[in-house]
Structure 1
Amino acid sequence: MKIQDAKKAYAAQMDTLWTRKRDLSQALKNCQQGGAPNVDRVEISRELSAVDAQYNEAQGVMESIIERETAIHNAEVAKQQGNALSKAAEEMGKMLEIYHRIASGGQVPPEDEQRLMEYNHELYMAAKTAAMLQEGDGEKYDSLFEDEEEKNGEEKTASEIAGEAEISVPGGGGDAGLDIASE
């Protein structure tokens, strides 16, 4: 069962149990005030205790579901941050390589020069200054960015991934496995 489905099922179950608790509490209160003479207060108290225990159990399961969802969410956020840092480091490495190629007098594609200029104008100017001090014609290089293709697909957010994660819950969620006494 997906976490989001389990949360919905247990929320509905908890709502049902809460309503039942409220109704039983009101019936017990009426019984104590003498409003319902044919009602057994002991039976209502037992039923109220049973419903209260079921509610507390469902609440505990809901809390564990939320804890698990939060853990999955946090792990996914950390993974996405790691990927972003990795991409930034890779880009920085490419920019430094372009700098090195230009500074050593090499000929790089105009697109690479443009990217270096956009990345860090001062670094680009330093590379061009160093290139002017070099003697002779430098080596001609291919672009470092030819192998990159733009990604058009959107990535899922950490919350979406956490909500779609599979989880096993006692009784399969919902009203399964719980005996809710009828009025």
Structure 2
Amino acid sequence: MTDPLTTLSGTLDTVWTLLARGATDRDAPARHPVLATSGRDGAEARMVVLREARRDPPRVEIFADRRSAKVSELSAEPRASLLVWDPALRLQVRLRARFQVLAGEAVAPLWQALPGAARALYGGRPAPGAPIPEPGDHIADPAAHAFCVLRGVLAEIETLHLATLGHRRALFRATDDWQGGWCAP
């Protein structure tokens, strides 16, 4: 059996399979990527939940509370990266994207589809990041106006496969119609 990560097309197909699984399977490695943004004091990184991954057009989606720091950071500087690590494949995937914040009527069907426990994550009091005396002092207060979707339109996909017989690195760009090329690891 041929390792798909030895070819550019196989590598890109593997990335999209990994992302698609992450958007639907709670146990998939790509379910919780790291989102890196540019914050007020420099780089910021946090784990998020991948909610959607589409190959055509190439994009990813994350749900967020509109009052969170990541939303204001992406509003100020929409270029950001997602980082995925698949330990079984020994594959690192970096996605560079331009994010837009979708809210209100544009995301109403997604809000309606969320189960109650998930809705409780958006709109609590006080707002995300605000100081509280004790963990129990945060009050869940589901609010549709606090819910938003961070949609990232992909510009680049970079992979690093930590292979036993030599690491392989590839870079795919939207500007090159995702043809890709090998890079020194």
Indicate the structure with greater strand content. Answer: 2
* TM-score between the two structures when normalised by the length of structure 2: 0.25
Higher RCO (CA < 8 A, seq sep 6+): 1
* TM-score between the two structures when normalised by the length of structure 1: 0.25
Q: Between Structure 1 and Structure 2, whose CA radius of gyration is higher?
A: 1
